[in-house]
Chain A
């Protein structure tokens, strides 16, 4: 996100916070967030795709709500204002194609009006079908998760992205030779997918609270956390949403602090570090092992300040709207071991995976007729969980290796900790401090070396960097 978009978001958050104080709070937040879905979407080379992807986002949200909504929340009377707002925003944005100047809320000039009307009708039909199906069988919830994962794969597997873009080029009668895997940048979809799966899984397990369409949609596409998280939980979000809100001095001060800190982290520290951080080009140019380490350190801090800066901005924007979004980072590089690192790095993501993958799989493996030994269960679940987190960043060998690197590291730490914690617990405090400092240094370097897979475009360049780091290249 650019500085301009962030500054506009701050103004929008202040306005939305002022407007969204009474019973209309979910509707106002929904309207602002739905507009943001379009405004944040970058321009795409496939004609009108930068309009259709946000539209599909809204359709998915509505259909997902219809599938998961509790029966008492499904009434037309309770939900028509939200449906009207969603449809109205799509239609109004579509009508901006007739303005005499360039589009300002969409990345490019919207498609023809009849196509938009058709899309709204299709989305309404899809939502209606989801409402009808949800009454008949819970299997449709699993199908919805399957659909979200399939969309995710299309976006993250380069070959699938390419062929999808190729298909869209053909469909639009555009030159298909220009199709590229990078054409399908669906802003915010990763985080939207996490929230959708969270609500569907909670519906399956009966934990999902009853929510209206306005509340559900405001949660899924909440604009402060649309592009970079954090991944909030709906029951926590509803607590803030349903609470009467008036911006207080404390809110304003806290929001201002987080926004300033976030802007400084992102646009001063991270952007400066980006100039000297390890990347696929300079990895092949750097001359000595010492400089390679410096570039790697720069990358490690750049990615931290960049991501945690965005989180601070999201939390600050949320605070202007009366939401205390969950923290995502808590000094992760100062933690004495890898387990604690992952408890403090992108915390909402790891909590999501823990809740919806690690814990269920662990329970499954432990509840078989012939339970596997604990170390084997830990090994399998940690390796697969971290590999999945890697795959979430992109379906490439490098991201898988990055995940495996951490999965293996977590397993080794788990076993080491099991064997040594009793002995270390009786050491004097001074020794504990020394051990913690040494552990933090070791953990940081383990994480930094893992970033090599993350930062490099392919395995051979990653291998080259490892050789260089240790003086073999």
Chain B
């Protein structure tokens, strides 16, 4: 292009320089505006909210969901993040894959069934039940979810707990926990507790555009998955249970490093449960010991209830839980043997079948109504 033509007015170096400066400014000011970006959510606004927290497990593009650690993004995608109507009695259920509904279709999961039961509190408010369970078992992970969920004004917290959620190896070992150690430290500080939380590895603050690019990409994908979730109602590929064989019971009785005959008083994470009850403040918390599969007969049934739990440690756990609940004034419901063995799926010792979920919903409904009608805390 010769001199004097219109195109010669364009100076590529200037364009590159201006573009570069703009990029650098945006990248370095990202910590200021980046957080606000991920607080925008299309859920409950452009598309409907999810009925349970996003959990990947498999190909995200096939299940229209993905595992993430940003609890704010996770909760904002949930239907619980909608404004609470005046006539609603809001129940949230915390827990592990049993609550989340890992082995059953969404419409057969316990929170869905309780919500569909159409319960009405004594004051006429409609009982709406929200699934805030999330695999895998860890009461510390539940504590973090509860902390985030309290802004959505629950009237009752149902907290499903099992022994596996309270052992030292599960105390801080969960992606939700490792991704939110700062939030956990804030809870500890607010409640003036010492939960023994490890210092976050990236305490120096990694909040630049480059540090957050993968998380941002995940966030955008997750927002787009919202369309597909609404279009299909699918957020999970169900395991093929027909091909699953229940494992034989092992012959050992060691559990998570614990040896018989007894469990120390401070071996399990009851302090985290106590923190959760305090965090809930005036909101009643119903602690539920989840039903477990009890193998009726066969080798090693004399020393174990199932492939997960040796008898001695599980009995100790139940005894400690009951005693601690009594001492602390917690509302505690022990449903460990509430379901017959036939009502568990073979992929885990804690996952009820659809019929088992329905039975569990029938058992729990009166307790919810009792609390909703002011009958206990």
Interface residues of A (CB under 8 A from B): 248-253, 256, 272, 275-276, 281-282, 285-288, 291-292, 294-295
CB pair B10 A249 closer than 8 Å: yes
Contact code string B174-195 (vs A, CB < 8 Å = 1, else 0): 0000000000000000000000
Return B219 CB to nearest CB of chain A, in Å.
12
Q: Give the residues from 51 to 82 in chain B that come closer than 8 angstroms, CB to CB, to chain A.
A: 61-62
B86 in the interface (beta carbon within 8 A)? no
**A252 cross-chain contacts in B, Cβ below 8 A:** 12
Which stretch in B197-205, B224-232, B348-356 binds the other chain? B224-232
Contact of A272 among B7, B12, B15, B220 (CB under 8 A): B220
CB pair A286 B232 closer than 8 Å: yes
CB pair A250 B61 closer than 8 Å: no
Q: Give the residues from 1 to 21 in chain B that come closer than 8 angstroms, CB to CB, to chain A.
A: 1, 5, 7-8, 10-12, 15
Most buried by A among B7, B8, B220, B231: B231
CB pair B233 A250 closer than 8 Å: no
**A251 cross-chain contacts in B, Cβ below 8 A:** 1
B234 in the interface (beta carbon within 8 A)? yes
CB pair A295 B7 closer than 8 Å: no
**A294 cross-chain contacts in B, Cβ below 8 A:** 227, 231
CB pair B228 A276 closer than 8 Å: yes
Return B228 CB to nearest CB of chain A, in Å.
6
CB pair B221 A282 closer than 8 Å: no
Given A249-B8, A272-B220, A286 and B225 touching (CB < 8 A)? no
In the complex, A251→B7 CA distance in Å?
9
CB pair A275 B61 closer than 8 Å: yes
CB pair A287 B8 closer than 8 Å: no
CB pair A285 B232 closer than 8 Å: yes
Return B155 CB to nearest CB of chain A, in Å.
31
In the complex, A327→B234 CA distance in Å?
41
CB pair A250 B231 closer than 8 Å: no
Contact of A287 among B224, B227, B231 (CB under 8 A): B231
**A276 cross-chain contacts in B, Cβ below 8 A:** 224, 227-228, 231
Chain B at the A interface: SS class: helix
Q: How large is the interface on B (under 10, 10 to 19, 20 to 34, 35 or more residues)?
A: 20 to 34
Return A278 CB to nearest CB of chain B, in Å.
10
CB pair B232 A287 closer than 8 Å: yes
Given A256-B15, A282-B231, A287-B233, A275 and B10 touching (CB < 8 A)? no
In the complex, A170→B227 CA distance in Å?
46
CB pair A250 B15 closer than 8 Å: no
Return A362 CB to nearest CB of chain B, in Å.
42
**A275 cross-chain contacts in B, Cβ below 8 A:** 61, 221, 224-225, 228
**A256 cross-chain contacts in B, Cβ below 8 A:** 12, 15
Given A275-B61, A285-B234, A249 and B7 touching (CB < 8 A)? yes
In the complex, A252→B232 CA distance in Å?
46
Return A28 CB to nearest CB of chain B, in Å.
23
**B221 cross-chain contacts in A, Cβ below 8 A:** 275
**B5 cross-chain contacts in A, Cβ below 8 A:** 250
**B15 cross-chain contacts in A, Cβ below 8 A:** 253, 256
In the complex, A275→B218 CA distance in Å?
12
Return A292 CB to nearest CB of chain B, in Å.
8
**B11 cross-chain contacts in A, Cβ below 8 A:** 249
Q: Taking CB as reference atom, which chain A residue is nearest B7?
A: A250
Q: Give the residues from 137 to 173 in chain B that come closer than 8 angstroms, CB to CB, to chain A.
A: none
Q: Taking CB as reference atom, which chain B residue is nearest A248?
A: B1
CB pair B10 A282 closer than 8 Å: no
User: Mind listing 23 A-B residue pairs with CB under 8 Å?
Assistant: A248-B7, A249-B1, A249-B8, A249-B10, A249-B12, A250-B1, A250-B8, A251-B1, A256-B12, A256-B15, A272-B220, A275-B61, A275-B225, A275-B228, A276-B227, A276-B228, A281-B62, A282-B231, A282-B232, A285-B234, A291-B231, A292-B231, A294-B231
**B7 cross-chain contacts in A, Cβ below 8 A:** 248-250, 253
**A288 cross-chain contacts in B, Cβ below 8 A:** 231
In the complex, A221→B217 CA distance in Å?
35
Which 3 interchain pairs have the tightest Cβ spacing?
A: A291-B231, A250-B7, A285-B232
In the complex, A256→B15 CA distance in Å?
10
Q: Taking CB as reference atom, which chain B residue is nearest A276?
A: B227
Given A249-B7, A253-B7, A295 and B231 touching (CB < 8 A)? yes
